[in-house]
A and B are shown apart, each in its own frame.
Chain A
Amino acid sequence: MNDIVNPVTLVDRSFYFIVGFSFVFLFAITIVMIWFVIRYRRSKNPTPSDIRGNFFLEIVWIVIPTIIALLMFASGWKSYTGLRNVPEGALEIEVIGQSFSWLFYYPNEKETENEIVVPVNTPVKLNITSEDVIHSLFIPAFRVKVDAVKGLDTYAWFLPEKKGEYFFQCTEFCGTDHASMTGVVRVVSQEEYEEWVNKEDEW
């Protein structure tokens, strides 16, 4: 399992890169702006200079931001491909969104509502569609979000590396109870999963 790169790492790296740069940039521009306003206030600097532009400076501040922007794009794209390329041997679960709950169907036809149980360290692929209007499945812990659209099959995958409970929510506005369309991903050990998935439904 160790040869699979968890997309969470890639997405977070991209976040740190973009947000980190943005903070530096914002800080610099704000400090310079405030300093100019204080330094060149009219009482201190009654006669302004007549500067209308500077070709070299303008080229510099077109070229450098362009390079940085392209680097940001590349990091974002790289993490996106991580989210899209499903490794082999993933556990496939069919997901149907409906107003206002999520239905899950396991390969052995076990059904659940608003709850998924998955084994730890196994990649999980969710094949998603909708019964009615558009919904969107968002599992923050795994940086995963994809719309559920009727008549269209979408997918997402994630690699649960730690046991625990992770919540998911609907993020495409779908009506009155949109906000209550939430649920839980339970990540358990392989044995517990086997036991759970083979147990007959009580209903």
Chain B
Amino acid sequence: MEVVNSFFVTPSSSRLKGIWSWLLTTDHKRIGLMYLYSILFWFLLAVLLGGFIRLELMFPGETFISPEVYNSLFTLHGVIMIFLFIIPALPAVFGNFFLPIQIGTDDVFFPKLNLLSWYLYMAGGIIAVISLFSDGFPDTGWTFYVPFSISTNTNVSTAVFAAFVLGMASMLTGLNFITTIHRMRKKNMGWMQIPLFTWSLYATSWVQLLATPVVSITLLLVMIERYIGVGLFDPAKGGDPILYQHLFWMYSHPAVYIMILPGMGVISEIIPVFSRKSIFGYKAIVASSMAIAVAGSLVWAHHMYTSGMSDTAVFVFSLLTFVVAIPSAIKVFSWVATLYKGSIQMAPPLFLSLCFIYLFSVGGLTGLVLGAAGTDIYVHDTHFVVAHFHFTMFGGTGFAFFAALYYWWPKMFGRMYDFKKAYIGAILLTGGFMFHYVPMFILGLQGMPRRYFDYLPQYAKGNFFAGFGAAFMIIGIFLLVINLLLTLRKPMDASSDPWGGTTLEWQTPSPPPLHNFVKEPVVLDYPYDFTGVVKKYAKNTKGE
């Protein structure tokens, strides 16, 4: 094959040079990488903040930080992880990079808007940092519940404004992706030929576009409330704090599907490739993604069973919550069924995906305890909830993020990584994860509330053990990241298709050229048809 310069060499606007060829680029791949660097920074920072929380909790009483600092720490950990890491992680990095390639086009529909989204994202992050160094970082938790968030003296407005700006970035990315998928697919790619990762981004983007405005408006109202004192939410002025909770969760529950759907998409890509076998039930997975997007938007008040809302509302939202569990279960069954009679090659991305299935199942099943009205009353706002959403968000989306990094790294950077370090990192991460969060389930069942700086003596043992788990987990995370960064010293020698994939990104060199494809990619009638791949590797007896 003729040698083609990769997008690392060719700037998207040819007159741009040096750093400007990145900061002003409209190339979706470069924007994706800029997101990757900034998101990794925030992620590792928030991981360390989380580590401090666990360290403080290892021993009863004040260990090394004051309650004020502790309260700011968990707020900061939550805000960064939610708004700066989990929500943008998969769509903004891998969506930007691979969505156009998977549908066989050269960029997103609005490249300049795409760059603007990145700037809004960075601006939001910087505003969040500013709030830290001005009047003290907010101590409200990432939920900013009124009337506490209105009455506290700390700098809530700035943090809320940061979340508002980040919401704009998220909406614009969603708009861009929807338009791109509708308008820029290769001519012969129908809806049932779209890869599942792109399908999951399509479902996600609709939620981003429709749900984010609700929280943006709500956050603006909180600021208006703080500055002008209109009395919308403050009961002292005749406002309704429950209204705030409804508005907040009307976005923030759909947001958890913004976080998990792309992760499910990644797993749906990886499992077939390493099984060298078609995904089981392509249409069911597509339908379940869309069903999750729709039904997931109708369950928000299951965060509010204890809030004082009516029993009828509890009935309806509990019922809907169980309905939304079904499509997630379908996906898990489909992934496992895909392995059946496959030809399975173990590799770090598959290993991380299998860990994902296990951890996400735990997270989903404990969600049933929380969805049921009577049991939720007991575990609501306890460590059980904390463990549950870390299993889904971190064991789910976080693991999917690492799986995606390890799956697509050779494509993005043209370099293969060391498998051994990857396995060690993944095992440390998974083992530490279990050691960290399983004690938290038990603590929750014993009745330990979340957001507690100190605790009753009976909770000491669980908190002590969880601290060790956290340490192993953090070592695992850093090992996984460093292992990838080490490859950057090596020459670019990865082949265009190291795993034997069927989607279009494997039909272009690694890393891809500026316009993504050297020769026109071939769209398969069925996107996960592995017969061609099997034939190609049949001559090679080792099957490598």
Contacts and interface: CB of A to CB of B under 8 A. Distances in A.
Interface of A: 7, 10-11, 14-15, 18-19, 22, 25-26, 29-30, 32-33, 36-37, 40-42, 45-54, 57-58, 61-62, 65-66, 69-70, 72-73, 75-84, 132-134, 136, 138, 140, 143-147, 149-152, 154, 167, 169-180, 182
A77 B354 contact: no
A133 B148 contact: yes
A56 B361 CA distance: 23
7 contacts: A15-B369, A33-B358, A36-B344, A145-B378, A149-B235, A149-B241, A169-B456
A47 B236 contact: no
A193 B94 CA distance: 65
A26 B446 contact: no
Contacts of B314: 80
Contact of B242 (A7, A15, A149): A149
Nearest to A154: B308
Contact of B278 (A52, A138, A145): A52
A66 B495 CA distance: 45
Nearest to B328: A65
B365 A171 contact: no
B51 interface: no
Given A36-B339, A42-B343, A179-B452, A25 B151 contact: no
B310 to A, nearest CB: 11
Contact of A80 (B147, B377, B449): B377
B448 to A, nearest CB: 8
Instruction: Name the residue in A42, A46, A49 with the highest tally of chain B Cβ atoms < 10 Å from its Cβ.
Output: A42
Contact of B365 (A26, A66, A150, A170): A26
Nearest to B236: A150
A169 B376 contact: no
B322 A72 contact: yes
A147 B304 CA distance: 9
A15 B375 CA distance: 6
B330 interface: yes
Instruction: Name the residue in A62, A75, A171 with the highest tally of chain B Cβ atoms < 10 Å from its Cβ.
Output: A171
B375 A51 contact: no
B318 A40 contact: no
A171 B366 contact: no
Contact of A11 (B240, B342, B377, B526): B377
Contacts of A80: 305, 311, 314, 318, 373-374, 377
Interface in B128-156: 139-141, 145, 147-148, 151-152
Nearest to A172: B381
A138 B337 CA distance: 43
A178 B374 contact: no
A149 B244 CA distance: 13
The 6 closest A-B pairs by CB, nearest first: A76-B372, A79-B374, A140-B447, A80-B373, A151-B235, A22-B365
B306 A147 contact: yes
A77 B147 CA distance: 30
Contacts of A32: 336
Given A61-B333, A178-B452, A178-B453, A52 B152 contact: no
Interface in B377-397: 377-378, 380-382
Nearest to B447: A140
A109 to B, nearest CB: 25
B453 A146 contact: no
Given A36-B336, A62-B330, A173 B372 contact: no
A66 B451 CA distance: 34
Instruction: Name the residue in A41, A144, A173 with the highest tally of chain B Cβ atoms < 10 Å from its Cβ.
Output: A173
Contacts of A66: 326
Contacts of A143: 374, 377-378
B110 interface: no
B517 interface: no
Contacts of B333: 61
A81 B314 CA distance: 10
A49 to B, nearest CB: 4
Given A134-B147, A146-B308, A149-B242, A61 B329 contact: yes
A136 B306 CA distance: 8
A26 B373 contact: no
Contacts of B145: 133-134, 172-173
Contact of B67 (A29, A69, A81, A177): A177
B160 to A, nearest CB: 16
Given A149-B242, A150-B241, A152-B235, A76 B453 contact: no
Given A77-B373, A176-B71, A150 B322 contact: no
B530 interface: yes
A6 B307 CA distance: 22
B183 interface: no
Instruction: Name the residue in A45, A53, A76 with the highest tally of chain B Cβ atoms < 10 Å from its Cβ.
Output: A76
Nearest to B288: A62
B336 A133 contact: no
A138 B368 contact: no
Contacts of B336: 29, 32-33, 36
Contacts of A36: 336, 339-340, 342, 344
Interface string B510-540: 0000000000000000101111001000100
